[in-house]
Amino acid sequence: MSASLTYWRSLSERDGEPAPALDPTASRPADFSRRRFLEATGFTLSALAAAGCRPAREELALPSVTGVAGQIPGRNRICAATCAACPAACGLLVTTRDGRPLKLEGMPEHPLSRGGLCAVGQAQPLGLYDSLRLTGPLQRGQPISWRDADQKILDVLQQLREAGGAVRVLTGSTCSPSLRRMIGRFLGTFSDGRHVVFDSLGCSAILGAHEQTHGVRMLPRYRFENARAIVSLGTDFLGTWLSPVEFARGWRQGRIPTTDRPEMSYHVQLEGRMSLTGTKADRRLRVLPDEYALILGHLAADLANRAGLPGPSAPLPALPVAADEITALADRLWDARGASLVLSDSDDVQVQVLVNDVNHLLDNYGATLDTARPDQRWQSDDDSLSRLLAELRNGKVAALFVAGTDPLHNLPQSADLAEALGNVGLVVSLARWLDATTTAAQFICPEHHPLEDWTDAEPISGLVSYSQPMLAPLGQTRSILESLAAWSGQPATAYDIVRDTCRQQVFSRQSQIADFTAFWDQAVQTGFVEVEPVTGGPPAFNPEAVQWPTTAPATDGPRLAVHANVGMPDSRHAHNAWLHELPDPITKGTWDNYACISPALALAQGLADGDIATVTAGDVRIELPVCIQPGQHDRLVSVALGYGVPGTERFAHIGPDWFEARSGVGENGLVGVNAAPLLTWSDGRLSSTRSDVQLAKTGRHRPLATTQEHHSLTLPANTAPHGAPVRDIVQETTLAAFAQNPHGGTPHAHHVAGGELWPADHPPGDEKWGMVIDLNACTGCSACVVACQVENNIPVVGRDEVVRQREMHWLRIDRYYAGDGDDVRVAHQPMLCQHCDNAPCETVCPVLATVHSADGLNQQAYNRCVGTRYCANNCPYKVRRFNWFDYPHDDALENLALNPDVTVRMRGIMEKCSLCVQRIQEGRHEARRLGIPLADGAIQIACQQSCPAQAISFGNLRDATSAVAAARTSERSFRVLEELGVEPAVAYLRIVRNAEATDTHAEAAHV
Amino acid sequence: MLRASGSLNDGTETFDNHDMPKHVITIVLCIGLLGGLIVLATGSADWRLPDNQQGYAPVQPIAYSHRLHAGELQIDCRFCHSGAEFGKHAGIPSSDVCLKCHRVVTSSYDVLQAEAQLADTEKRKPNLIISPELQQLYDYCGLGSDLKPDREQTPQPIPWVRVHNLPDYACFDHRAHVTVGITCQKCHGPVESMERLRQEEPLSMGWCVNCHRDANTAGIDEKPVNASLDCAACHY
């Protein structure tokens, strides 16, 4: 009996079309007689035996000359640090082995990230060991010594100091007190120095709106943990917006209903594209970005009316959505006054002023919007940037220093800008990789990788975090702090600069520790300190600032929105192959950006997935493959930024080298296409949306490397056994149904009659490892996928191999759509080896390479596997991965990122999730050494450790007091394909949406 | 020649009597075979089946004697291989561990003693006598003739040749074994009697597993232990 929603993974699956066949040109074995087979086998066996004999391999064991106190070979050292992958500055724990950093994990004690770390943060070690990272200063492409580079730069600067001239420093947002101090000191030596901040998708409008409504250019700290009603207009706060790890953790806090307290926050998402946050919303409305103003206007008018305050003087234009939707929203928000949150990612200041007005009417300032300790991470200012661009075009800038951002790649009209940069007397780039801007720079003075550097950060006022070098610099790079100090004429080491900043700006803001050295040591050791905030609360709200919308947006014609991808937030990460191969949480696309359009728009334009279309906006034309995205607004084309980065030519041949290998890059020779030219300046602000867009078919086609139909668990209708029940792979219920009956949604058991296949001849031991994944908390952010890849030495296969369904990720996140129309709901389900007690893979292995362990693990012995792939065929969860090749490991530097605890697998063998058995063994051995029992939580596996939403619990199922055993007995617990009787050790907790029970759900609730 | 012998077995074609007589062919074949075997046997005396290195005793860059240090002088194994208690690897000591003693002990006791007596009779300070092997150590450590760091020389790690080498797909943890009381000699043989270190045991999977089985039945030092027989105890 069909119990709940019907889920589908792609439009063709929903419509019952057959899955696309694999490449028909794939080679077929030729006729092969029995005699030829025996000949070949005999020859192979004897050749193998002969080839295997060899003299003992002489291998050197090189000890260090001088030992380091406390460093034991093969033992991990863990240091606190601060993530520098984006301005969010999450707390890090860096695992270092024998002097090399290997794994970045979230720091559980950190007040913001609280143990979480996103996919981008976790992928950082690959950049450290990147052999294409710049290793020293360059002048016009030629290596130069630091002494000469400094001398030449100082000569120019000295002239400017004497003669006067505009010196500009352009950076991305930075919350480092030391960096700000050094930039200030450097610019202070000139008569005309200015610091300009530019982020591709910053929050200049929110800062500008608070300047109007509160008189302070400020970004409040969003406290999702305090919010009972969340209305988000376009903000992807769980995926890419501002500080997604911190927000996901806060959001999660209100999202887990229990039997004692069947309550959840109510989350409404109004958006045009399908964002990660939209997939987790209780209610999702499809609206266009230019309709936000009107929706917020109506909402503000409704709330003002309830508050007894004056509303708009003239009636507002008609709403683009049903009026009762807004009334329902206002009801929810009004009920949760002081504990609600309204946000928008609009880059229009007037929209953000309306957002502030709504939050003010709801008394959210001081509750869910913390203004006493405001967010200091984002400072981009479109006014300041546009003034800089004007100065550049007018030849007013004498010297430009660029760090942490690539303006030539990320700004529109970059050809003009490149020409303007050519006229600047001195352009110095501090980029770590060659990028678009470095081509226009006379000097490239690369800064350290963050793991090689001393840094600090003050993400919110009063929280200062620190980072120490984890290893000596691998190249001749230099800290940006040291570069600025040298160019200021006062050379100093980064250590002294960061320590002095701590002494001057941080130490005085606390009174617990009187001795500075003790304070500093503690700050570096724990990674962060909490001190008094600098700023006080903002002055009162100024209602005069609100301008009610007067015009309604046009109701026809497509719109364009550029956005950030979860795995590739901006072009700084373009050299990271792990992030390119990470399937996007929604589209499941890899190694590309594309134009997402709705199925209806695709039908109207005659476009199919992978058809290359021309996106024309104003005088900009770019060609992109099309990706049909259910849930997208029918009039919206959305494109991700951060692609088409110069230097990504390197990924043309990243996969295995074989005769059918195809290039991994697009027609432009790069990974994806740069969408920054589509950004536009309107009313002095850099806008990510525009309405002058057209989409046209080119007739060309390039298959998208999307994994959405790979490894499907659903049974195609034509292969299902007669009368087989529909398998509920994901289970979902509503809060109303859950409150009525917490077990609601449990389908009828489909257990196989006749009991177990195998006799219970193995007595149960004390340990049985298991996992529970809370699908309600899981946001699909894919941090676990990268965590698993880093921990388990999972190779990157490249775009071509992904197209051939040969991606190697042990842990994937299956994304299912539900709903019949284009207004779909989405469920994310992390899928990994389920470590079945009656594992179907084990029974079919002819060489016993995969067998069960006494502690419940489904083991895979790589050295025993002969690669028949029977196990993968018999796995109902499709989690086994076959090594079709020896994936390239010829970059000696990059190999330093490999985890020495995990075998690097060879060609021809099967692999899959081991539940991080290396961590289990480490925890077990360490407990044994210390003579203590293995405590619950002492072993944390890679995917579990850094989950921002803490959706994964892992531990010993036989220990009734363990967290995983408690989660396993939850009313929401279910196991995927339980009816097969394979007894998986991984369970899931059902999704609960905060909605009234519908008919389907009422049926689902019936047990 | 192949065709000729093929014809013989076949019996359908006539054997050409004008060719070499049969016994000449046999003799040539035997000589060839013998010669081939001799070449193989001498050239591949140290050839083994994959990953079996039992008896391997390579020449080391410095003729370090475990017999002298661990046997005669009775220095505890863990003085140098300190990681064995705490981690996966027992570790090869960094050169400065050698210098803890050898900053003072520069040659054998007899030689130093003789020089001391000679100096005593000649009423002078004893000369610094450095044995050839220890001179190598000092060279690697970048020490000058006065045993002080020499700025001209860069210290180099000593390129020890690894003797006990498990294949990459097998993970062994010293800590777990040392903690339950397995002696070092159980796996490494009588190291305290070896002038040059030799791999005593096969270190094969069967050898490991047999010991685990025995330990589970007999215990270690009469204490019961739980030595895992799971694949994933070692292979991951």
Q: E strands within A301-348?
A: 340-344
Q: Is the pLDDT of residue B8 over 70?
A: no
Mark yes or no for CB contact B87/A928 under 8 Å.
Answer: no
Whether residues A918 and B236 touch (CB distance < 8 A) is answered with yes
Instruction: Measure the CA–CA gap between B147 and B144, rounded to whole angstroms.
Output: 5
Selection from A929, A835, A913, A123 nearest residue B236 by Cα: A913
| Axis crossing angle, helix B132-141 with helix B95-102, rounded to the nearest 10 | 130
- Alpha helix positions (H), chain B: 2-10, 22-43, 66, 77-80, 95-102, 109-122, 132-141, 174-180, 184-188, 205-218
We find that the CATH architecture of domain A559-701 is Beta Barrel (2.40)
Specify the pLDDT at position B2: 41
Beta strands A850-852 and A858-860, pairing class:
antiparallel
Pairing of strands A91-97, A76-82: antiparallel
- Residue A771 has a pLDDT of 95
Min Cα distance B63 → chain A (Å) is: 15
Task: Give domain A138-201+380-530's CATH architecture.
Answer: 3-Layer(aba) Sandwich (3.40)
Q: Is A902 on the interface with B (CB under 8 A)?
A: yes
pLDDT of A765 reads: 80
**Residues A292 and A524: beta-carbon distance below 8 Å:** no
Q: Where are the domains of chain A?
A: 138-201+380-530, 205-375, 559-701, 748-752+765-1005
Query: pLDDT grade, residue A682 (50/70/90)?
Result: confident
Provide the CATH number for the domain formed by A205-375 in this structure: 3.40.228.10
In this predicted structure, which of A528-542, A626-640, A755-769, B213-227 has the lowest mean pLDDT?
A: A755-769
pLDDT at A760 over 90: no
pLDDT at position B11 is 44
pLDDT at B45: 58
For residue A469, give the nearest of A451, A482, A456 by alpha carbon.
A451
* Other beta carbons within 10 Å of A533: 18
Residue B52: predicted pLDDT: 75
Nearest to B230 among A60, A75, A859 (CB): A859
Query: Tokens standing for A799?
Result: 């775009």
Residue A339 near residue A426, CB atoms below 8 Å: no
Fold of A748-752+765-1005: Alpha-Beta Plaits (3.30.70)
Three-state DSSP at B60 gives coil
pLDDT digits (tens, 9 = 90+) for A208-257: 999 999 888 889 999 999 999 999 999 999 999 999 999 999 999 999 99
- Least Cα distance to A448 among A403, A512, A414 occurs for A403
What's the whole-number mean pLDDT along residues B212-220? 92
Among residues A729, A693, A739, the alpha carbon closest in space to that of A996 is found at A739
Query: Using one digit for the tens of pLDDT, what is the confidence trace for A431-482?
Result: 999 999 998 899 999 999 999 999 999 999 999 999 999 999 999 999 999 9
Q: Which of A98, A916, A921, A934 is most worth mutating to test chain B (most B CB atoms within 10 A of its CB)?
A: A921
- Among the partner-chain residues A67, A855, A929, the one whose CB lies closest to the CB of B175 is A929
Q: Which of residues 55-94 of A touch B (CB under 8 A)?
A: 55-67, 72-75
Residue A156 to residue A122: CA distance in whole angstroms: 40
Domains A138-201+380-530 and A559-701 in one fold? no
Tell whether the model's pLDDT for residue A850 goes beyond 90: yes
- The crossing angle, in degrees rounded to 10, of helices A177-187 and A480-487 is 20
The tens digit of pLDDT for each residue in A821-847 reads 667 899 999 999 999 988 999 999 999
Asked if A917 is an interface residue toward chain B (Cβ–Cβ < 8 A), one would say: yes
Confidence of residue A727 (pLDDT cuts 50, 70, 90): low
- Which residues from A are below 8 Å from B55, CB to CB? none
The pLDDT of residue A387 is: 92
DSSP class of A505: I
Q: What is the pLDDT of residue A607?
A: 92
The secondary structure element, H or E, covering residue A971 is none
Of B46, B157, B173, the CB nearest to A63: B157
Task: Give A103-117 as a 3 state SS string.
Answer: EEEECCCCCCCCCCC
**Mean predicted confidence (pLDDT) in A892-916:** 92
**Pair A593, A725: CB distance under 8 Å:** no
Q: What is the pLDDT of residues A11-34, one digit of tens each?
A: 877 777 766 555 555 555 666 788
DSSP string, A642-672: S-S-TTGGGGGG-S---TT---SS-TTSSSS
Instruction: Transcribe A183-238 into DSSP letters.
Output: HHHHHTTSSEEEEEE--TT--HHHHHHHHHHHSS--EEEE-GGG-SEEEEES--TT
What per-residue confidence (pLDDT) applies to A726? 61
Report pLDDT for A758. Answer: 64
**Nearest Cα to A782, choosing from A988, A589, A918?**
A589
By CA distance, what is B173's nearest residue in A? A925
Residue A34 in contact with partner chain B when CB distance is under 8 A = no
- Angstroms from A369 CA to nearest CA on chain B: 48
Amino acid at A762: H
Q: What is the pTM of this model?
A: 0.90
How confident is the model over A730-735, as a mean pLDDT? Answer: 88
Closest CB to A65: pick one of B94, B179, B231. B94
Phi-psi region of A16 (alpha: psi -120 to 50; beta: other; left: phi over 0): left
User: Which residue in the block uniquely carries the two structure tokens 């050698």?
Assistant: B98
pLDDT confidence of A82, banded at 50, 70, 90?
A: very high
pLDDT of residue A501: 94
Residue in A closest to B85 by C-alpha: A929
**pLDDT value at position B10?**
46
The whole-number pLDDT of residue B7 equals 41
Considering only residues B12 and A277, tell me which one the structure prediction assigns the higher pLDDT. A277
Give mean pLDDT, residues A158-166. 90
Q: Give the per-residue pLDDT at B21.
A: 74
| Cβ within 8 Å, pair A72-B83 | yes
Q: How far is CA A750 from CA A477, A726, A747, A977, A980, in A?
A: 62, 10, 8, 9, 8
Q: Token pair for residue A6?
A: 């019907």
> What's chain A's average pLDDT?
88
Statement: residue A712 has pLDDT above 60:
yes
pLDDT level of residue A3 (50, 70, 90 thresholds): very low
Query: Each residue of A49-78: pLDDT tens digit?
Result: 777 666 667 888 888 888 887 788 888 999
Residue A895 contacts B where some CB pair is shorter than 8 Å: no
Q: Cβ–Cβ of A65/B58 closer than 8 Å?
A: no
Place of tokens 């003729």: B63
Per the listing, tokens 């017999």 go with B67
**Which segment, A250-254, B39-43, B106-110, is predicted with the most confidence on average?**
A250-254
Residue A80 has pLDDT above 90, yes or no: yes
Per-window interface: A 929-988 vs B, CB < 8 A? 929
Higher pLDDT, A68 or A990: A990
Q: State the smallest CA–CA distance between residue B139 and chain A in angstroms.
A: 12
- The answer to whether residue A350 scores a pLDDT higher than 80 is yes
Judged by a CB distance cut-off of 8 A, whether residue A1002 touches chain B is no
> What local confidence, expressed as pLDDT, does residue A1 receive?
34
Give the number of beta-carbon pairs within 8 Å between A and B. Answer: 146
Q: How much of chain A, in percent, has pLDDT values that exceed 70?
A: 93
Mutate to test the interface with B, among A889, A895, A925, A932 (most CBs of B within 10 A): A925
pLDDT of residue B22: 80
* Contact A857/B at CB under 8 A: yes
Phi, psi of A273 (to 5 degrees): -90, 165
Segment B12-24, tens digit of pLDDT: 444 455 556 788 8
Q: Is A171 helix (H, G, I), strand (E, B) or coil?
A: strand
Minimal Cα–Cα distance from A798 to chain B, Å?
25
